[in-house]
A and B are shown apart, each in its own frame.
Chain A
C-alpha cells in the first residue's frame, strides 16, 4: 500500500530532521547546554513538527479532494446518451468505479497488462468476460463510454497520486530544512513547539464541531434532495407509509406520521416501565439502603446499562415476544398476533432504561441538601413523608430532566425496535400490534439494495433529520433543566 509507505516516509524524514536539528544545536552550543534557550529535544521537535505536520495535512486534504475532482471530471466524460432510461448518473459513475477496480484487479492477477488496461476498447474485445475471469465483480456489460471513463478514471487517479507523493515529500523536506535553519541556540524552540502542540490540541477539540457539522450537512443535503423528489408536506403529514420495493420511486407513500406514532408509543411504554422502577430504586438506594445493599444493588442495576442493545433486541425477539404471545396471543387472551409488537419492544426498552433513570435520579436526589431532610425530620416527619413532600418536590426539575433524557434515548434506540417491534407501519392504539419506528425504517431503507438517489433511500435522511431534531431538542431542554436545578443547590 503506497499510502502507508508515503506516511512512513514522511515520518522517517521528520525523525531524521529531529536527530539532525538536535545534533546541530548541541554542536553550536559547544556542548554547554546552558547557553541553549530550550532543551535540545525541543529544537529537534520544532524541526520535526515543521516537516511532518504540513506534509500530512496536505496529504489528508489531497486524499479528500482528489476523488471529488476525479469524479467531476470523469462524470463530465459520460455522455447523456450513455445513461440508460432507468438509471442515473451516479449509478453509471458507480459502474465506472467498479470497472476501474476490475481493471486494477485484472492487472494484479496477471490477466491483463497495464497497456491493455489503458487502451482496450469495449467494442472490440470482450472486456466484461476478461474482467470477470480475473475475479472482478461485474454487474452488467461494460460499454465503451463506461470503459473509456474507467480508463480515464485510472489515469487521473494514477497521475494524481504521483503528484501527491511528490508534493507531500517536497513539503516534508522543505519544512524540515526550514526547521533546521532556524536551529540556533538563542532560538525559542520550546515556545514554538508548545504553540504547535496547542494548535494540535485545538484541532482535536474542534473535531466535535466537525462531527456535528458532518451530521448536519449530510442530513440537510440529502433531505433537500429528498424533498426535491417527494413533497415535504406529504412526508410530514402523510398518514401512510408504503414504500415501493422497486427502489425506483413511483407509487411510494412516505408519510412519517405512522412511524412517529410507533416511536412515541413504544417510548411511552418504555417510560411507563422504566420511570417507576427506576425512580423507586433510586429512592430506595439513596435514602433507605444500607451501604452493603447499595454496594450490591447499584452496580447490579447498572449492569443492565452496560449490556449492548443488540442483546436486548435478541431478548425481545426470542424471549419476551414468545412469552407475551403465550399469554396475550391466540392461545391466551387473543390480543396479540405475533411476538413482535409495541409491547415487546417497549417492555424490553423499559428494562434497558431502568438503570439510566435510576442512576440519574440517584445523583439528583443526593444533590438535595441534607439540611432539607433534617428540617423535615426535626418536625417529626417520617422518612417517606420527607421523601415525598420535601425531597422529591425539591428534586423534581432534575428528575424531569432525567426522564426527558431517558425519553430521548428511547426515541433514538434502534436495535430493540428493529428486532422487537415489527416492520409494519400502522396507526393503531393496540399495544399488542406490531408497529415500526423512525429508527427501524432508517435501517430498512438504507440497508436494502435500492439506489441511493431514489426517494425510498433518501427518505431515510429525512427521517434521520427528524430524529436528530427531536432528540437534540429534548436533550438541550433536559440539560438546561438539570443544569438550572444543579445551580439551585450549589
Chain B
C-alpha cells in the first residue's frame, strides 16, 4: 500500500482504504459538506453519527458517487480509494460502484424474484461465465447476507414478498454479490423492528471480516454496538473522528459530548 498517511493512529492490523481530503459538497447554493477530511480503514466498521441534516448521508453518498445522479450536486476535494481519486475524469462511476457497494435506508428489493435480485449485479458486471457459477455466486451472497436458510427453498419467489428485515438482508446480500471492497450503509436499520435490527447488526459485524464497512446511523447505541471508529458530523462539518470507545467515553469536542449526552440533535 502506497500513500501511507504519516500521522494516523498506530494500529498495526488496519490499513487505510478510503482517504478523503478537504471535501466540499454543494447542493445548488447550499454548502452541505464543509472541509471534511477522514480516513476510513479496512476491515473496520466506521460509523457516521450526527443530528438530522448534518451531512453524514451526503458524505456517504460521495464515496460511491451516488450524488452524480443528482443534477444540482457538486463535489470538490479529493476522495481516494486505494490511492486512486474516484472523482478523476477517467474513473467510470459504474466500475466504482461495483467496488463500493451500498445498502439503503429503506429496503428496496427490485420487483423480481429473490434469485434475480441477487443475480442482477453479477449479471450486469459479467461475473459469471455460466449458470452454475451464477448459482454459486447467488448462494454465497445469500449466505453472507445471513438469509440463505430462510429463502433457499423459494428463490423464485418475489423479493418484495419478504418481511422488512429479510428484505434488508436481501439487499445486503445483493450488495455483496458484486464482490465489493467497501460497503456503504445508509441507516440500514431505521425501517426495521428491534429483532430484525439485531440480526442486521450481527451481520454487519460479520461483514467486517471482508470489507471496509461505513454505516450512517441515527442511533448512538447502534454506533457503539457495531463500530470500531466513529465520526461525528455537525452542520456539514466533521467535528470529531476517533475510536468509537473514545468518542463515547471521552469526546474531545464539547459538541460531540452534547450530542452524545442528548443535549443537541
Contacts and interface: CB of A to CB of B under 8 A. Distances in A.
Contact of A379 (B71, B106, B112, B174): B174
B108 interface: yes
Interface string B80-115: 000000000000001111110111101011111000
B154 interface: no
B160 to A, nearest CB: 9
A155 to B, nearest CB: 74
Interface string A352-388: 0000000000000000010111111111111001000
A385 B98 CA distance: 14
Contact of B69 (A371, A377, A379, A385): A377
Interface string A311-328: 000000000000000000
Interface residues of A, number: 20
Interface size class of B (residues with CB under 8 A): 20 to 34
A371 B104 contact: yes
Could you tell me the dominant secondary structure of chain A's interface residues? Answer: helix
Contacts of A377: 66, 69, 97
A394 interface: yes
Contacts of A19: none
A390 interface: yes
Contacts of B71: 290-291
A92 to B, nearest CB: 67
Contact of B110 (A291, A372, A380, A382): A372
Given A379-B174, A393-B112, A374 B104 contact: yes
A288 to B, nearest CB: 11
Contacts of A290: 71
Contacts of B51: none
B101 A378 contact: yes
A376 B120 contact: yes
A376 B104 contact: no
B97 A380 contact: yes
Contacts of B251: none
A385 B124 contact: yes
A373 to B, nearest CB: 8
Interface in A392-411: 393-394
B77 interface: no
Contact of B111 (A379, A380, A393): A393
Closest 9 CB pairs of A and B: A378-B102, A380-B98, A380-B97, A371-B108, A379-B121, A375-B108, A394-B111, A380-B94, A381-B124
Given A375-B171, A378-B184, 14 more contacts: A371-B104, A371-B106, A372-B110, A374-B108, A375-B108, A375-B174, A376-B120, A378-B101, A378-B175, A379-B124, A380-B124, A380-B125, A393-B110, A394-B110
Interface of A: 290-291, 369, 371-382, 385, 389-390, 393-394
